[in-house]
Amino acid sequence: MARIGQLLRRLSGMAVSLLGLSVLIFVISRVLPGNPARMALGAMASEEQVAELAAEMGLDQPLPVQYVEYMRRLFVGDLGRSLQTKNAVAYDLLTKFPATLELITLAFTFMVVFGIPLGIVAAKHHGGVLDNATRLFAFSTVSVPSFFIGIVFQLVFGYFLNWFPITGRLSSAHSGEVVRTTGFMLVDTLLSGSIAAHVDAWTHILLPALALSFSGMGQVIRITRSSMIDIEGQDYIEAMRGYGLPTWLVTDKYTLKNAFVPTLTILGLQYAWLLSGAFIIEIVYSWPGLAKYGVQSVLTSDVNAVVGVTMLVGVVFVVVNFVIDLLTSYIDPRIGLAGESA
C-alpha cells in the first residue's frame, strides 16, 4: 500500500508539473516580441488582414478567455496551426519528433556503452594512468560545448578525411528507395529492404550523435567512477573480499549494482537534457528534427508551434524523471519514488 501511495503522489505531482508548465508556456508565448499575425502575413499586409488573422487565432480575446480555449484544445491534442508550415502543429510534431528521438536515443546509447565501462575502468585503476587519462577525457568532454565538438567532427571527418556526410539524414541518391513508415530512418531503411540506404543513414547520424553524447558521457564517467570508489570502500564490500568471494562477483553483483543508482539518475537527466543539446546540433548538421523546427518557430514568432514544441519537451522531461524514479526504486527498494525512503 505504501508503494501505491507513493505512485499516486508521484502521478499527481506529474499532473501538477504539467499544469504549471502549461501556464508558464501560455504566459511566455503571449509576451514574445512581435505580432504573430503580422509576422505571418508579412509587412505588406493591411491592418484589416492582420486583425482578421489575429481574431482567427483568438489573440483579440482577453487573456483568461485565451487560456481557457488554449487548455480546451490542449486536452484534445489540438495545438492549432503553424504559421510557418501552414500545417497542424500536432502533425508537424509527429513528423519532426522521430528524427530528434532517433538522434538523442543513439547519443544516449553512446553515453551508456562508453560512459559506464570507462567509469568502471577508472575506478578499478584508481590513481593510476588509466584513471587519470579517463578523468582527463571526462573533464574535457564536459567542458567543451557540443556544438564546437560537432563543428570539429565536420571539419576533420567530413571535410578533410571525407569519411562521413555532414548534413541531413540521408543522401539524395537513396531517398527514393525508402518508404517513410515510422519516421526513424534507421528502421525505415531496413523495412524498405535497402541495405545501401541503411548504411548511408548510419553514416549521416554517427557524427551528430557522437557530438551530442560527449558532454553527457563525461558526466556518466565521473559519476560512475566516484560511486564505484565510494561503494568499494564500504565495510560490507571489504568483508565479502575477506570471505574469499571472487573479485568479479563482488564487482558485478554488489559494487556495480549499488553504485548504479546515482549513475541511473544522471542518465535519466542526461536523456532529457539531450533534447536541449539537440537544438544546437540539429542546426549545425541541418538535421530536420524537432529542435530545428522549434528554433525556426521562435525566430518567426510562430506561437502555436512554440507552445507545441515546449510542451512536448516538458512532457518528455516529466515522463523520463518518472521512469527513472521507478527504475531506481526497483534497483534499491530502500529508495521510494521521488527519492522518498521506503
Could you read off the pLDDT of 226-241 as tens digits, one per residue? Answer: 887 777 666 666 666 6
Q: Pick the closest to residue 220 from 146, 329, 114 (CA basis).
A: 114
Query: Where on the phi/psi map is residue 29: left (φ > 0), alpha (ψ -120 to 50), or beta?
Result: alpha
Residue 24 grid cell: 508558464
Residue 248 scores a pLDDT above 60: no
Most confident listed range (16-20, 117-121, 324-328): 117-121
pLDDT digits 0-9 by tens, 141-168: 878 888 888 888 889 998 888 888 888 8
The pLDDT value recorded for residue 106 is 92
The confidence score (pLDDT) of residue 342 equals: 47
Place of cell 557530438: 211
Q: Which long-range contacts (CB under 8 A, 24 or more apart) does 23-30 make?
A: 23/67, 25/306, 25/307, 25/310, 25/311, 25/314, 26/66, 26/67, 26/70, 26/307, 28/310, 29/303, 29/306, 29/307, 30/63, 30/66, 30/303
Q: What does pLDDT average to over the chain?
A: 77
Q: What is the pLDDT of residue 254?
A: 61
Percent of the chain, pLDDT > 90? 2
How many residues make up the chain in this entry?
342
- pLDDT score recorded for residue 5: 66
- pTM score, two decimals? 0.78
| pLDDT for the residue 39 | 62
Is residue 44 predicted with pLDDT exceeding 70? no
pLDDT above 50 (res 341): no
Name residue, grid cell 559506464. Answer: 116
More confident residue, 215 or 234: 215
DSSP, residue by residue, 17-38: HHHHHHHHHHHHHHHSSS-HHH
Phi and psi of 335, rounded to 5°? -100, 120
Predicted confidence (pLDDT) at residue 288 exceeds the cutoff of 80: yes
Rg of the chain on CA atoms, in Å? 24
Query: For 212, what's the count of Cα atoms within 13 Å in the CB-facing half-sphere?
Result: 34
Contact 171, 290 (CB under 8 A): no
| Dist. CA 295–CA 281, nearest whole Å | 12
User: What was the pLDDT predicted at 45?
Assistant: 64
Distance separating alpha carbons of residues 271 and 297, to the nearest angstrom: 23
Sort 247 into a burial class: Cβ within 10 Å, 0-12 / 13-18 / 19+.
exposed
The residues, ordered by sequence, that sit 6+ positions from 337 with a Cβ below 8 Å of its Cβ are 3, 6, 7, 9, 10, 325, 326, 329
Burial of residue 135 (number of CB atoms within 10 Å: 0-12, 13-18, 19+): middle
Lowest mean pLDDT among 17-26, 79-88, 185-194, 226-235: 226-235
- The region of weakest confidence among 38-47, 151-160, 169-178, 277-286 is 38-47
CA distances from 131 to 34, 216, 257, 259, 266 (A): 53, 18, 21, 17, 20
3-state secondary structure of 250: helix
Alpha-carbon dihedral of residues 33, 36, 39, 41, nearest 10 degrees? -160
> Cα–Cα distance between 4 and 92 in angstroms, integer?
37
